[in-house]
Amino acid sequence: MGAYGISFGAVAVTAGFSVLQTCATSLLLFTGASQFALVGVVGAGGSLIAGVLSALLLGSRNTLYAVRLADLLRIRGPRRILAAQLTIDETTAMGTGAPPGLERTAFWASGAAVYVLWNLGTLLGAAGATQLGDPATFGLDAAVPAAFLALLAPRLRDREGLRIAVAGALLALAAIPFVRPGVPVLIAGLAVAPLLVRR
């Protein structure tokens, strides 16, 4: 997570974010795919609104995680706000995969570790990027698409996931000549609509 955070910090600064803005997204947004989407859209020349919408689209899956974790962890009171901030891919995997009775420990321990390492990595990457010069020299310009491919790859193992990915890619490619940067990502999200209608 620290190494991934370093990559995000460097890419964000390269895309035009300040070190402070970059660190604020990790402290407050704290969901890697959404952060990379925001930075990728803005860095490609898209509007901030398109970037935020892309980030929200990708981050919406955390809502589904919260529904699953609410019954499992049964967190009450003000701690629910902190738990909501820490509800991400990794903490959901640890919480749901833990042995009976250790679900809360797994959730909180993984949440604390990921939060600290992600934010420390972001700071190091952002601060270091200001000293690197042209990011293409070190291949940092490829970090955003590489991160998206890494997130997408596990979802391509079944036919339904593969169909949705191909449909989304085709929708995005068709939209590129007609819309501003960042909007094709939002349009690609329409590929999941038939699946939602069936369920």
54-73 pLDDT, tens digit each: 888 778 878 888 888 988 89
Output helix, strand, coil percentages for the chain, rounded to the nearest 5.
Answer: 80, 0, 20
Residue 175: alpha-carbon gap to chain centroid:
23
DSSP states of 22-65 as a string?
HHHIIIII--HHHHHHHHHHHHTT--HHHHHHHHHHHHTHHHHH
pLDDT of residue 16 exceeding 60: yes
Cα-based torsion angle of the residue sequence 142, 145, 148, 154 in order, rounded to the nearest 10 degrees = -80
Please state whether the predicted TM-score (pTM) of the whole model is above 0.85: no
pLDDT of residue 183 exceeding 80: no
The predicted model gives 153-164 an average pLDDT of 78
**Nearest Cα to 143, choosing from 28, 6, 24, 16?**
6
pLDDT of residue 28: 93
Tokens of residue 156, six digits:
């391509």
Question: pLDDT tens-digit profile of 89-143?
Answer: 889 888 988 899 999 999 999 999 999 999 999 999 999 887 766 666 666 666 6
pLDDT of residue 146 exceeding 80: no
